[in-house]
Amino acid sequence: MRIVAKMATGGPVEVLLVPLIAILASALLFAGFVALAGVNPLEVYALMYKGAFGTWFSLQNTLQRAAPLLLTALCTALPAQMGMVIIGAEGALVMGGLVAVAAGLPLVGMGAPVFLTQLVMALAGMIAGGLFVALAGALRHWRGVNETIASLLLSYIAIAVMNQMVEGPMRDPASLNKPSTGAIGDVYMIGTIPGMDVHWGLVFGLIFCVLTWLLMFHTSFGFAARIVGGNARTAKLVGLPVGFLVLAVTFLGGAAAGLAGMVEVAAVQGRANASLVAGYGTGGILVAFLARQNPIAVIPVAVLLGGIAASGGLLQRRLDLPDATVLVLQGILFVVLLASEMLYGRLAVPRLSLASFLRLRPQRS
């Protein structure tokens, strides 16, 4: 009877079982879709496995693509713990990248130590991204502006500001046909994880996910924040600093995406330019929702989506499927996983009713 009761209240079995059912159902639906396109689904899955996890190169490719998603997903997942839907990770990433370069270039010019420069760049990127998303939080808290719309529109502003800076005041005059800021130079670039061809952004992302999970689910701060998410008025009534919590959590989410931007310039591009707008922010929204806004669940989901992205190229090249194929798979996954939410608490429905039935009787007597 105890086991039955656990099943019913979203215990570990259910938390694993429901997404698994959803993923299997999406896989079946997608198989039907590719079969309609005239391709053998088994071949598609074999190729996807090869492209995502099948070789050491593929695995690294997957992890590399997951790295920025880990950080941008937190930008949506953390504020979601407070009941806010923030979709401004793209803007926070761009701001983080731009400000990181702005902070790094003078230090590079002075010949500052490499580690110090990278640290300053990371902090600058995190503060920029954090303030940017906290702005949406502030608008929500004090002005009652819908944070989803605010963060979306602020993203457009961030991209416009970045373009303006890159094509104007911060432009490297030598970047003729692709306006960019000056480069920080190879010496100041963040390298790859030893023994792997994956940059340190992956480690930053993993650390950020674990730490914010601990913060949100194992500290009184996180508990307070989640109470605000449950009911902001009640939180105010019991004397929680709601405004501070809103700002702090949105700042933290933005800081994660800002760090992703810093990694993008310091580990990949070497400079800030329009390539920062690559859709990592929007990809992060998908990851956060699939992870049910749980920072620790962001990790496997980001790896799964990274793998889908990594294998997409192989599907295009070997089977002549269009690029949109993997988008279809992502779309199916998204819809089915969201729909599967209704399974929570219902998977064990017959047992639950039986249990409550059994429990009811003896209790009364």
Partner 1 sequence: MTSSAINRRSLLKGATAFGIGGALSSGLRFGTARAATLTIGFIYVGPRDDYGYNQSHAEGAAAVKKMAGVKVVEEEKVPETIDVEKTMESMINLDGASLLFPTSFGYYDPHILKLAPKYKDVTFLHCGGLWKEGGPANVGSYFGYIDEAQYLSGIVAAYTSKTKKMGFVAAKPIPQVLRNINSFTLGARSVDPTITTQVIFTGDWSMPVKEAEATNSLADQGIDVITCHVDSPKVLVETAETRGMFVCGYHASQAALAPKGYLTGAEWNWEKVYTDYVTMIQKGEKVPNMLRGGLKEGIVKRSAYGAPVSDEARKHADSVYDKFMAGDFVIYKGPIKSNTGKMVIDSGVSQGQTDIALESMDYLVEGVVGSTS
CA atoms of 81 and 229, how far apart (whole Å): 6
Q: Which two tokens stand for residue 310?
A: 């990594």
Asked if residue 278 binds partner 1 (CB under 8 A), the reply is yes
Least distance from partner 1 to the Cβ atom of residue 337, Å: 24
Asked if residue 90 binds partner 1 (CB under 8 A), the reply is no
| Cα end-to-end distance, the chain, whole Å | 18
Asked if residue 314 binds partner 1 (CB under 8 A), the reply is yes
Asked if residue 58 binds partner 1 (CB under 8 A), the reply is yes
Helices and strands: H and E segment counts in the chain: 15, 0
User: Would you say 298 and 73 are in contact if contact means Cβ atoms under 8 Å apart?
Assistant: yes
Sign of the alpha-carbon torsion through 216, 221, 224, 228: negative
Least distance from partner 1 to the Cβ atom of residue 29, Å: 20
Out of 64, 212, 325, 340, the only residue in the binding site for partner 1 (CB under 8 A) is 64
Torsion angles phi and psi, residue 194, rounded to 5: -55, 135
Asked if residue 323 binds partner 1 (CB under 8 A), the reply is yes
CA atoms of 58 and 159, how far apart (whole Å): 32
CB-based contacts of 142-150 (< 8 A; 24+ apart in sequence): 142/243, 147/79, 147/84, 147/85, 147/86, 147/250, 148/84, 148/85, 148/86, 148/87, 150/88
- What is residue 112's DSSP assignment? -
Q: Which residues of 198-221 are buried (b: 16+ CB within 10 A; e: fewer)?
A: bbbbbebbbebbeebbebbeeeee
Asked if residue 341 binds partner 1 (CB under 8 A), the reply is no
Q: Which range binds partner 1 by CB under 8 A, 90-98, 216-224, 265-273, 346-354?
A: 265-273
Least distance from partner 1 to the Cβ atom of residue 55, Å: 7
Interface characters, 177-216, with partner 1 (x: CB under 8 A): xxx-------------------x-----------------
Least distance from partner 1 to the Cβ atom of residue 176, Å: 5
Out of 61, 181, 250, 325, the only residue in the binding site for partner 1 (CB under 8 A) is 61
Asked if residue 282 binds partner 1 (CB under 8 A), the reply is no
Asked if residue 167 binds partner 1 (CB under 8 A), the reply is yes
Least distance from partner 1 to the Cβ atom of residue 98, Å: 16
Least distance from partner 1 to the Cβ atom of residue 340, Å: 29
Interface characters, 68-87, with partner 1 (x: CB under 8 A): --------------------
Q: Which two tokens stand for residue 111?
A: 């010949």
What is the binding site for partner 1 (CB under 8 A)? 40, 42-43, 46, 50-51, 55, 57-58, 61, 64-65, 163, 167-168, 176-179, 199, 264, 268-270, 273-275, 278-279, 309-310, 313-314, 316-318, 322-323
